[in-house]
Chains A and B, each alone.
Chain A
């Protein structure tokens, strides 16, 4: 079962997944968020009957459509890639992981695709109320699909509701509700869709700011901006709230990730939260260098946020590597040992079953069950190998958090000036409004880095290392498809951006969706 794995294959498989996920996530936040704003605008239109709001709804709907198409295009790859590039993973956890994906298809994708057709082609063909209902159903469908895929992702971070079946050599679901309502999954879902809402709001604000700077379509721009800023403010507050929840659950379930997020090597009680810091590049696990060249800390905050008590002990990276008896942290070598016991017990079990040796089978199953929790560690030799890349996670986390707070301030300020009807005078703020849109992506992509790179080397926390999960392909095959994806997705992205910009320049007055004819 333990075989030599070509690491370049693993790296290329990861690179391809990261690339396709990165592109997919470029479009999905706007889909998730803008669809709600379109539904809100459509509601105002149906309530007031105002032609202005109809125009506003249609304009944003057009931009939504351009973005939606490419979101779908980049999404189909994601679903099948689990099979194409992570074949061993697909069997090892398919019994649990496959279900949310199928449910996503049956419950969410059909809802989205059916009612999106009504939303786009239903104007004048169906009643206003049915059309409005359709736009809300699209919004609901988009969030529902996010729910299922994030439940699947949450389960990888904290595998619950399952047992390992030695005969089939895989994990099998025993409690669907535990998988669905796992706190990690629910927090992840809420935090992720909130980030989508914020990015979409930043998009709306940026487009409107551009109109205001150009002194055109003023009424349209201000009205849309109000929707964007209010939606953005509420979402960014919710984002901070769910961010706190996510960090709390990371502390409970993935403490190594938390240590990396904070650059914490030596665990301590009354741990402070690093607000801003520069890591010492010379710091390595096991040496005596200082962790930081410079840092500003909020005292006791980390203990408080992570364990809801300012006095709590927060374990650091060294505690995981070497163990900490006082606080009951098991050394990694001991986990590695248990992991090897589990793997060997599985091999013995298989042999015993083949030879019909019942007592040996029972005995090895017992050993396996005792050590199963750490099965994935059995693939490693060096304790340092189970620690993620600290600087990458640390900086990603801090960039994300800082930007998160920045967005709250930005939406507040914009909203204040909108209600005072003075926003046009503040050209610098309008310019900041435009340039903050890419910052939204920076924040959410760094967030994904924290979540996904932060859990390395695991694809399933503690159970399956990423390197074991890949399909056994030739590295060149993956390289070929990787570069094809780069070429195709990049061209489509450029096309999307150019179409989007042209459409924005044409503005809400243009008819026929900006087509050439």
Chain B
């Protein structure tokens, strides 16, 4: 069935899949948010244990989504993979280091014989949840703000900035998205804890965190959103020639009303989730804000890559900018991969089923005492 699609349709389909993965990654960052909150919310060791175990049962999904996002980018848009990872070297390496230290932290933190000490692994969790998330935001922001690289006629790319990705720090919009992501993760983390832990005090303190971090999130996020909508974007014509277009991303929203709708619904859901977490004593905020975050990020990524927009713009040489058309895999490979993508709904279904089975009872002080595998 995928064979009959044109190359462009397959490229669009894969941009949608990659956007789904990116959006899923962001909503799953509640794990990272929780990692920056346990020292604030917990007032004693027992509470800390509860929080770390609550998020610790989910960390692998965020991690796996990140890995799959990387794999899908490699398979579908290999020139992006080659250009960005090989170019923004320090930025990506820093992100990877942040995730390496997370993978061991939950398991090793309280194990006897752990020679680095419990504190070290808690710092690892914090670094992953703060720096790791901030840098991810920074990297994704460059989809809108551009990077310095050139691609030659053999499609070999060379990064033109000696800072190898650290220069992303010098752009206010990048910083704004990095901060938005960091505070959003904290909002989601606190909302998740409210939902997952049956403890009055933890819930109370988590609500306060939702309140504070929601405000801290909204400021940089609105700044980023507005400045992206008002700035010029990287468009290309049917001949593949890239040019700057004033209000390109705003135009994309207007020309793709469905995406605009998704974005508006997403933002409203995020806000609604924040509202009921803070003012209504509801434990369901995570569902609304989580789904809302998914939809918003999904829409933003669609706007970055669809409607003749270069999703990885080059500031050094406009024509080196990467588009879904000039950076993608062949028709054959995208077709083969599209069949594999049919597994995605199945994967989501079993994740949902398995989570429900394990999360049937909320975590509480009593429950954790009975548990034999605790972090």
Contact = CB atoms under 8 A, between A and B. Distances in A.
Given A80-B85, A87-B157, A176 B113 contact: no
A511 B374 CA distance: 10
Contacts of A98: 71, 74-76, 78, 81, 329, 333
Interface in B43-57: 45, 49, 57
B213 to A, nearest CB: 27
B337 A102 contact: yes
A73 B100 contact: yes
Interface residues of A, number: 95
B139 to A, nearest CB: 12
Contacts of B64: 105, 109-110, 113
Interface stretch (A88-96, A292-300, A322-330, A331-339): A88-96
A484 B114 contact: no
A69 B112 contact: no
Given A173-B330, A173-B336, A106 B103 contact: no
Contacts of B372: 58, 123, 511-513
A118 B85 contact: no
Interface residues of B, number: 82
Contacts of B361: 125
Contact of A495 (B81, B104, B162, B371): B104
B82 A91 contact: yes
A81 B343 CA distance: 26
A1 B153 CA distance: 9
A76 B61 contact: no
A92 to B, nearest CB: 9
A69 B99 CA distance: 12
A385 interface: no
A74 B92 CA distance: 15
Contacts, number: 287
A36 B66 CA distance: 27
B154 A79 contact: no
Interface in A227-244: none
A424 interface: no
Given A76-B99, A80-B70, A87-B85, A169 B373 contact: no
**Centre residue among A83, A114, A494 by max chain B CB count within 10 A:** A83
A169 B154 contact: yes
B44 to A, nearest CB: 12
Contacts of A354: 153
A476 to B, nearest CB: 11
Name the prevailing secondary structure of the A interface residues: helix
A350 interface: yes
Interface string B340-375: 110110010011001101101100000000111110
B287 interface: no
Contacts of B79: 91, 94
Contact of A76 (B89, B96, B340, B347): B96
Nearest to A177: B336
A173 B63 contact: no
B70 A91 contact: no
A309 interface: no
Interface string A109-121: 1110111111011
A179 to B, nearest CB: 9
Contacts of B90: 477
B4 interface: no
Interface string A157-190: 0000000010011101110100000000000000
B78 A95 contact: yes
B74 A114 contact: no
Contacts of B341: 106
Given A65-B373, A113-B60, A512-B372, A84 B118 contact: no
B337 to A, nearest CB: 6
A399 interface: no
Interface string B105-125: 011101111111010000000
B220 interface: no
A511 B371 CA distance: 10
Given A77-B96, A121-B373, A506-B112, A477 B333 contact: no
Interface in A495-509: 495-496, 498-503, 506
Contact of B156 (A77, A91, A110, A474): A91
A125 B357 contact: yes
Given A106-B341, A169-B153, A114 B354 contact: yes
A358 interface: no
Contacts of A513: 111, 372-374
A418 interface: no
A80 B93 CA distance: 9
B158 interface: yes
Contacts of A477: 89-90, 164
B352 to A, nearest CB: 10
A492 B102 CA distance: 12
Interface in A191-216: none
A58 B372 CA distance: 9
A94 B153 contact: no
Contact of A69 (B107, B153, B157, B370): B107
Nearest to A85: B86
B314 interface: no
Contact of A473 (B63, B164, B340): B164
B108 A499 contact: yes
Contacts of A472: 86, 158-159
A134 to B, nearest CB: 8
A7 interface: no
10 contacts: A74-B100, A80-B85, A83-B85, A87-B82, A96-B333, A98-B78, A105-B71, A117-B355, A118-B354, A172-B330
Given A72-B60, A103-B75, A110-B347, 10 more contacts: A69-B108, A76-B99, A77-B100, A79-B71, A114-B350, A120-B373, A473-B89, A488-B101, A514-B111, A517-B110
The 5 lowest CB-CB distance pairs between A and B, nearest first, are: A94-B78, A87-B86, A83-B85, A502-B113, A105-B68
